Amino acid sequence: MTIWGDLRAQEPSDRQSLRAVVGWTSNEKVQSQVAVPLGEATVQSGWDPRQSIVWDFFKDFALPLVLIGLGMVFNLWEKKRERAKLEHERLRTQLAETWNSMLPETHRLVTRFYMPVEAAARAAVDFIRRYREEDAKESGGPASVEASRRAFFYLVLLERRMRHLSNSEGGFYFKDRIGELLAARCHDRFRNLYSWENERVVRSFSGVLNYIDLSETFASFLDKLDRRAEGVSAEVFQQAWNDFTAWLPSEKCNRAISYLAAFAVVLEYEMNRPYEFWYGRREPLHGDADTLSVLQSLAEECRREPGREKLPDQVKEYLSQAKETVICPG
């Protein structure tokens, strides 16, 4: 007996083995069955043959093209990365060469000009404040007189050294343009509050500077102030001293020393910055809240000038970075 039939699948399936189980009952009422292997079968959908054709096409033609395209993209990316690396190395080399050439010059400016100016400015602020404290206790007492004479000496020495800096170098050359601007503007504000707009005050004070050496001592200065030195105009010294003593107790003086103190703080910070790799760290700006307020308010005043509209934000960022201590590698 031959039995046949057609198998129809209801849904696609992966490859699997098929078996047919055939059962029958004999005339003696004995039931029997046998399993007949039909082989392996895979049920495909209507899309599967097309998918197979597409995959064969992709495998034989498209995949090599994609690999070629990826190779070209990778080569372009590698060349771009190499160019960026070379440019970075070029800039770093250029920066190192510039730094090596500028460091000796910066060291010369710091030791010859900035340090003497900063020392005189701090001493002037210290003795002016000391005078105002002593004068508040005992008006015209020996301590206040001593403080006023020292304050006058250091103020004259400061301006003599600033004249030397201006005549020799033209101004400040810091690592940051904002620092240069702040230092110069603080000094200008101090001068204005010293009645620098008064021609007579400027003339007498400038006349005193003509008789002062860069390394003037307090003793030699007193000889000139007290008319014990030869070849010195006593009238010029006396007029400048009278202007100074009239200015000391004024409100202008109180405001002026805040700018002079801020000037010294910025100058100290900037003249230490070139040595950060030598010391292994960058020293922060050592200014109190009043000093930071003076510098920020100065930026607000300058924003009205053409091209200075963004100065307050720049100064804020400058002060924020300056207050951080940075540890340098090495």
> 234-282: per-residue pLDDT in tens?
899 999 999 999 999 999 999 999 999 999 999 999 998 888 777 777 7
Is it the case that residue 168 has pLDDT exceeding 50?
yes
Distance of CA 98 to the CA centre of its chain: 19
Contact 260, 117 (CB under 8 A): no
What tokens were used for 210?
Answer: 């003509």
For the chain, how many structural domains are there in total? Answer: 1
Q: Is residue 192 part of a domain?
A: yes
Residue 9 lies in a domain: no
Residue 148 forms part of a structural domain: yes
Q: Per the domain annotation, does 178 fall within a domain? A: yes
pTM assigned to the model: 0.70
Lowest mean pLDDT among 93-107, 196-210, 260-274, 307-321: 93-107
Using alpha carbons, select from 205, 204, 203, 169 the residue that is nearest to residue 184.
169
Confidence of residue 99 (pLDDT cuts 50, 70, 90): low
For residue range 282-311, list pLDDT tens digits in order.
Answer: 788 888 889 999 999 999 988 888 888 899
Domain contains 156: yes
> Would you state the pLDDT for residue 330?
45
Q: Are 142 and 233 in contact (CB under 8 A)?
A: no
Residue 34: inside a domain, yes or no?
A: no
**What do you get for the CA distance between the two ends of the chain, in Å?**
97
- Structure-token pair, residue 161: 């050294």
Range of the domain at 297: 86-327
Across 20-29, 56-65, 255-264, least confident range: 56-65
In a domain, 291, yes or no: yes
Rounded Cα distance between 180 and 324, Å, is 19
Q: Is the pLDDT reported for residue 47 higher than 60?
A: no
Residue percentage of the chain with pLDDT more than 90: 47
In a domain, 30, yes or no: no
